[in-house]
Structures are given as structure tokens and as C-alpha cells.
Amino acid sequence: MSDLTGELIDGRYQLIRQIANGGMAVIYEALDTRLDRKVAVKIMHPHLAQDEDFVGRFIREAKAAAALSHPNIVAVQDQGWNQSGAPAVFLVMELIEGHTLRDFIFERGRFDVKDAITYLTPILSALAAAHRIGIVHRDIKPENILISKEGRVKIADFGLARGALLGTTMTAESSIILGSVSYLSPEQVQRGVADSRSDVYATGIVAFEMLTGEKPFLGETPIQIAYMHVNEKVPAVSTKRKDIPPALDSLILRATNSNPDERPRDAGEFLAELQKILGVMDPARNQMSLELDLPVPVTKEKRRDKKIEPVQEKSITKESTAALRTKKRKASKRVRRNRWIAFFLAVVLGIGSWYALVGPGSRVVVPSVVGGTLDDATNALTPLGLTAEVSEKIFDEEIGKGRIISSDPEGGGRVDAGGSVKIIISKGPERYVIPPLQGLTPEAAQVAIEKQQLRFGSLTQNFSSSIPDGFVISSSPASGGSVKRATVINIIVSKGIEKVEIVSYLGKSGEQALNELTEAGFSVESKYEFNESVLAGGVISQSPDGTTPAEKGAKVLLIISKGSQYVYIPNIYSLPESQAIKALRDLELKVSVKKMGKKSVKSVTNIAPKVGTKVKRGSTVVITVG
């Protein structure tokens, strides 16, 4: 693509310089002359502007970003076709002056844990805003994450985005070509489909690269890398560095799980779990430290050694007797206090024993089994003396088949020792197989469709060479596919074999008849016969003869003239032997040669039958040469 620097696009955007050049478009720094501000103008390569698919993708990028209003998403301001000057399909975006996350990774190698979370937070916040309105980015990678000079993180390039606001998606093949294979989820590689969990996977790979300084898989070709994403597990970050918090390590491992059902369901859930981890790592980030109840140091009193004087024998007086009674009363108070303490401890011990042996304390705490399989639940409950009881199996669009949706009691609840925990297991997404409908009557097809919890839709008719009139040819969606409950199934019913008017070619060129009948859809068979009235190559007869329409694809027999059965003996006197033989054989006559004399070059001296005689083709003519 030639450099358009200096061009005025759409009479408004003055291109200043190229700032990026990719396989699909060139991005220019430009001046919006109407509002006197700098913008970024993305111009599609001219050869791609002729391709409707690429133009559609370009417009989808504008619609995707325009549908989003978020401080961490590059804003799209305009889109159109240059009406004057150089022809161009263009997109106008806010100009972000700074670097990409790829530049930061190259420069830093790997991030500190807290720094990585700081960058991941606005990325996930932007994706969460997109996911809330049904838009999936599909191409998250460090090159599409911009960091402005002011430190604002921005997600760019919603060119592969899809969603209800944007229309259809790209194909699997184009997704692999246009996306970055190192960040594509297994479902994008295998089936070309993507949802919010695909963005979660790509963000998990970006997080892995930020924390380790390298991608999880390396290969010589993109196909090798794509194969590893489908067939191998992304390693845990902890295998590359030891200071990663276990909770963060587990979260990234979940986000990069090859099974979409095992990942956080969207960026919002991913972000919520990441913020919990950050709250544990840095509590001051979420609230002020309120460490007011400081522990008071324990001080021990110094022991006082009492001097024990020897007991002297004294007479018992009234005063001493009174003193003894006072001491006795003091000892009794201490005893009573100790008795109360003993009574209180006995009561506490009794209540504790009741609680642990008979009361609520004797009940077993139920572990959480949601998300696991029946085997997982059994393995968790059996050591506790509990049993897993499947109470119901129901369909669920998010929980995979065979996984536990809920339990009763829930995780953390209590159940009597030896009791059972009722669990509800997912049957996976509710899908119904479209029954075989070909060859059925419309009435029978409707019964079969509604029996499968599906809805009978429209009936259209079409010609068929294999299905009789009045019977089903096919359905849309096709039989054998799995669809949601109440999906509308439309059917196509046969009108029988299409009938076509046949033109009579009697006396006309057989070559013309063969070509035109074949183009009309008939199966043409040709036979050749001698005829004394129709010139060679002309049609003697045909069947059907053209008086009534015939079924398309029907067999038409043409009898084509080989010309007259008879020929006249030509005058070949004095011709050299070789020329005479050729002339007779061209008339489909057999030749017998009699040689006379000793000349090296012999010519015809006699012919039998004589010249001018009418004979059948294939007859033998005797020539004498000498």
C-alpha cells in the first residue's frame, strides 16, 4: 500500500505520519481539522477493500468498539469511505500515545506479582463491560493492550469481535489466520467458536506471560502451537517461579483450562476472584489498618518471703477463740467460691458433652462438592461417614454434563452422622436431536418434530429426482443435529421430478440435439444408422419425440444418420496405387490389389466393378496396377 501521508481523508482528517502497519490495515497519526485534535486513522489495504468479508470485519470493529463506553477501551469516533482523493475504507479512533503491553514484557521480562495484577485489573474490567452486553473480543494479546503515557490501560482492535450487536462471526479458518495463535483457546482452534470464556483463556495466557516472561507453548510453526493448545495443558505459573501465591496460581490455571466449563464464565467473574486475591495480599489496599487492640505485656508481681515465727504456746483466751472463729469463716467463703467454680465447670462440661455427643455438635460438617463429579462427592463424603444420594438430574447451560449443580445441605452445612447428602447433577445443556425426516409425509414429520420437544416451522416445496412427490426431502436445521428445546424446524417437501418441454430435433444436427438436451438436464443416448433420406449427422428420430413434457433427467434416445448405405465407384484410373487405395477406403470400401509388370511405381490400369457402379459400403473393389 502506498504511503498516504499528507492526504486529506473525507475532507476532514489530515494524515500526518504512519505509526503502525499490519497485514490488514495501516494506522496513521492524523489531525481532525474540524475539531482541531489529533486522532488515529486506520485505513484498510486497497486489495482487501475489494473483499466484502474484510470490509465487513472492518465495519464490525467500528460497531464493536462504538457499542462500548469504557475508560479502558479505545474509543471509535468515525468510520466511512473516502469520497475524494485516494479511495480508502477508514476507521477513526482516539490516539493513544504510549506503548503496548508487548513492549513492557520485552523490556521487563517478567512482572512482580502485584504489578501484574495492577495491569490485569483494567484489562478484565474492560472485557467485563464487553461481556455484559454480549460482545466477545476474540483476539486478546499483548499487542492489542495499549498503555498511554499517563498510565491508562486501553484495549484496542475489536476487529474479531462478535456478539448480538455485531452479526455473524468469522469462520474457524479465518479466526486462526487473523488471530494470534499463541492466545487462541482450544475451542477457537478446533471449531472456530468463541464466547466470553475464550477471552478468559486468552487473558490467562497473557497473565502467564506477564508473570513468567515467556509464552506457555513454543513451536516452529503456528500449527504446532495451535496443536499444543488443544492437546496439552498449560503449565502452572508455579512451575516457572516459586513466589507466586497459591490462590493466584490456581486462578490462572483455571482460566487456561482447555475445558471452557472449568474456567471463570466471563471476565467479571475472573476480575472478582483476582480482587479477592489482591485483598488477601494487600489488605491496606481495601481498608485502613485498624490495629487498635494491641496486646498488653504481662507483668509478674515479685514474691514476698514471709518470716515464719515459732509458735508459742499460749493459753486460750476469749480473744484467741474469736480469732479462730474469724479464720474459720474466711476459709468457708473460699470453699464456697471454689464450690461455685466447680459447679460452673461441671455445668459447662455437661453442656459441652451434650453438644458434642447428642446435640448439634454431633452433626458432621458437609464439604462443598459443587462442580465435581459423583465420584468426587463420594470420595469426599465417605471418609466422613456420609453418603451421596442423587436426588435429581436436570439440564444446565453452564454446568457440564455429570457435574454437580448443588447439594442439600450445601457446603458448610451440617448433617447427622451417617446421614446422606442429596445432590443435583447436571445433564449438560438441554439439547434434542433432530429426527430423520427424509421420506416422511409432512404430517408424519410434524409429529416426529414435536415429539422431540421441537417446533414445526414452515413448509416449502422443491423438485427432486429421488424423493417422490409429497414426501420430505430435507429439513433446516438438518436431521441429526442437536438443538435447544423449542427450536423451529423447517422442512422441504418434494414436488416430484421436474418436467421439461422437449424440442423435436428431427432432421436437425445430431450434435446440436445432443448439446441442447444435455444442458436441459436430460440423459442423452445416441445411435447411428444408415439412411437414404437424411444427410449424415442429421437426426432420423428421437424418443420421447417432443410432443409431451418429459421428466428432467429422463433418458432421450437419438437416432442419427450415417448417410446413405450406398456409394458410387469413383474414377481412380492412372492414380498411384497408394492414392487409389486411400480414395476407396475413405468411401468405406474394401480394396483388393492385382499387380502387373515390373514398374517400381505402379498406377491403376483397371477397376472392378466399373466406374460409376452403385455398391454398398463395405463391398470389395478389385484394382489392377502396373
- 456 forms beta bridges with 489
Look-up of cell digits 455484559: 132
> What is the secondary structure of 180-203 as a DSSP string?
-GGG--HHHHHHS---HHHHHHHH
d(CA 606, CA 323): 184
Residue of 53, 139, 293, 416 marked catalytic: 139
Amino acid identity, residue 36?
D
Strands 523-529 and 555-561: parallel
Whether 139 is a known active-site residue: answer yes
Between vectors from CA 166 to CA 178 and to CA 478, what angle results, nearest 5°?
85
d(CA 5, CA 3): 6
- Provide the grid cell at 100: 503496548
Per-residue b or e along 94-112, where b marks 16 or more CB atoms closer than 10 Å to that residue's CB:
bbbeeebbeebbeeeebbe
- Provide the grid cell at 317: 483466751
d(CA 90, CA 93): 10
Q: Is the bond leading into 544 cis (omega within 30 degrees of zero)?
A: yes
Contact in structure between 207 and 116 (CB atoms under 8 Å): yes
Query: Residue 405, Cβ neighbours under 10 Å: how many?
Result: 18
Strands 414-415 and 455-462: unpaired
Residues with catalytic function: 139
